[in-house]
Amino acid sequence: MFLLPTILKIEFFIEHLTLRIHPMKKHLSLYLLCLLFSGIAYAQNHETMVDAIVQEASDNSQLELLGQELMDGIGPRLVGTPQMQQANEWAVKKYNSWGIAACNEKWGEWKGWQRGITHVDMVHPRIKSLEAMQLAWSPGTKGKSVSGEVLNLPVDLDSVAFQNWLPSVKGKFVMVSMQQPTGRPDENWEEYGTEESVEKMKEARTKQATAWYQLYQTIGYTGRTLPIALENAGAIGILSSNWSRGFGVNKIFGAYTKKVPSIDIGLEDYGLLYRLVASGVQPKINVRADSKFNGNVPTFNTIAEIRGTEKPDEYVILSAHFDSWDGGTGATDNGTGTIMMMEAMRILKLVYPNPKRTILVGHWGSEEQGLNGSRAFVEDHPEIIEHTQAVFNQDNGTGRVVDISGQGFLHSYDYISRWLYQVPDDVKDEIKTNFPGSPAGGGSDYAAFLAAGVPAFSLSSTSWDYGKYTWHTNRDTYDKIVFDDVKSNVILVAILAYMASEDPEVTSREKIVMPTDKRTNAPMQWPTPRSPTRLGGVD
């Protein structure tokens, strides 16, 4: 942290000023002194407000209750599912119960889908229930169990051999993912393996991955088009395994099949089936996959606000996407960002009910499919976007915030430093700042605002193995939430929102001169606004 202690600066300045008061300019100097003293009074008010925020966040935290109701009670929030709408309604009710005005604003429509049970059992050569889950938007088995042999995609096919092989998938379940040579994460190998065995495993894996990649190239299909070719050839289900390189963890994304179920099988069980097929045993499985398509359904952003008193048409925006993938319960992506912003709003309403500027929170729908909710909000609300003081977005897991970048705003140091100065040391000690930073990157909703030139900042968290263990995985559940860290983030964002709201100055939107791209030698471009997908998943 490189923050100048403002109060010390003011005191130093007053000392000098008092010594230099010229008789003729006395009234002007007194005026200046008054201004400065009122500055100190503001600083003292800041302290009182900061203390109240910290106290409420610490003594009366609602985070565990919010987390339990949202993650356990409602569950994952895939766009277009009834659970997403249930979450929208829950959030509005919560805000209303805290005396905060809130609404669900429709921004588009999505293919409606409802997940039912997935149950997969190996029934030959022995009985074993498998760890399995339909991919999002997978067709089901129409209320029945479907049985069949399992087949794998032979890695040595060329395009002619593939066409000859294709009819053999009729009536079978087809495995389309590479079998992982190990279910141990690399760091586990590195801790216990000999150098030689680690090397050997990695070489074998690279060789296998290359062969798998070449297979798809040779037969002329992609991960997206192959499942469709297989179902058209009569396959009764597609089995895949998207290992996330940690113990027992897979990523669960969307299906591409239109008629038959697409099912992710956990690494261990996928390997079991794969080895049985390879050894000549023809394993058989029973699959029951329930799911329902509900036509096109409306999609919403949940918006809540505490109206400003002095400058109600200027905004400070708290931002976190509400939707999730549905392998787990979206606990760290982005349940934690969601409950962090809700809790900050609850506290602000309690201790700072009459903000100078309006404090608005956006719980965006369909971030996962391309920042759709936030892009729609930016497109639909130019009047807000034009007068937004700052946006604070959090979306990379449950950890304490450790990085804040100026995102390419030339004067971001001035205001962010001013605001961060009021944050208690134990909350900000680990935060690295990077000013003026750059607008590049943009993997979450702040990018929708940045593209419109709005000072929008990503509050970036420490990892807790987010990418490997929880991001888009079947293990992204309540038990992974680190509440102490989320609480610390609540205090941080509540204070930043308060300071941004109170700031006598409007934030500068002046951008940096964009650096030259090393490869093309042309200047890099500031990101430009993109329209959201307003009708999604519909064929």
Contact footprint for Zn ion (CB under 5 A) = 333-334, 395
- Cis peptide bond upstream of 436, omega within 30: yes
CA pair distance 271, 123, nearest whole angstrom: 16
Q: Decide whether 227 or 373 has the Cβ nearer to Zn ion.
A: 373
Nearer to Zn ion, 116 or 370 (CB): 370
Question: Residue 192 and residue 190: Cα distance in Å, rounded?
Answer: 6
Q: State how far the Cα of 456 lies from the Cα of 500, in Å rounded to an integer.
A: 12
Asked if residue 526 lies in contact with residue 511, where contact means CB atoms within 8 angstroms, the answer is: yes
The radius of gyration of the chain's CA atoms, rounded to the nearest angstrom, is: 27
Shortest gap between Cβ of 341 and Zn ion (angstroms)?
13
- Alpha carbons 489 and 249: distance in angstroms, whole number: 27
Please state, in angstroms and rounded to a whole number, the distance separating the CA atoms of residues 17 and 28: 11
Q: Which is nearer to Zn ion, 172 or 363 (by Cβ)?
A: 363
Considering all CA atoms of the chain, what is the largest pairwise distance in Å, rounded to the nearest integer? 102
Contact 288, 141 (CB under 8 A): yes
Closest approach of Cβ 78 to Zn ion, in Å?
Answer: 13
Q: What three-state secondary structure class fits 168?
A: helix
Nearer to Zn ion, 411 or 472 (CB): 472
Dist. CA 479–CA 89, nearest whole Å? 24
Question: C-alpha angle 241/244/249, rounded to 5°?
Answer: 80
Return the exposure string of 88-114: e unless at least 16 CB atoms fall within 10 Å of the residue's CB, then b. Answer: bebbbebbeebebebebbebbbbbbbb
- Min dist. Cβ of residue 445 to Zn ion (A): 9
The residues that bridge with 320 in the sheet, in sequence order, are 363
Distance from the first to the final alpha carbon of the chain: 51
Q: Whole-number minimum distance, CB 84 to Zn ion, in Å?
A: 14
Q: Do the beta carbons of residue 409 and residue 449 sit within 8 Å? A: no
Is 297:85 a contact under the CB 8 Å cutoff? Answer: yes
**Nearer Cβ to Zn ion, position 333 or 476?**
333
DSSP 241-275: --B-SSTT-BB--B---SSS-EEEE-HHHHHHHHH
DSSP 400: P
Q: In terms of CB distance, is 305 or 333 closer to Zn ion?
A: 333
Q: CB of 34: closest distance to Zn ion in angstroms?
A: 48
Nearest distance in Å: CB 480, Zn ion: 14
Angstrom distance (rounded) from CA 458 to CA 446: 6
| Least distance in angstroms from the C-beta of 145 to Zn ion | 35
Handedness of CA 403, 408, 409, 413 (dihedral sign): positive
**Which residues have a Cβ under 8 Å from the Cβ of 439 and sit 6 or more positions away?**
407, 408, 447, 450, 511, 526, 527
Residue 532 makes CB contacts below 8 A (sequence gap 6+) with 107, 108, 366, 370, 371, 372, 373, 375, 376, 379
Cβ at position 444, least distance to Zn ion in Å: 6
Structural contact between residues 210 and 204, judged by C-beta atoms closer than 8 angstroms: no
Which amino acid is it at 131? E
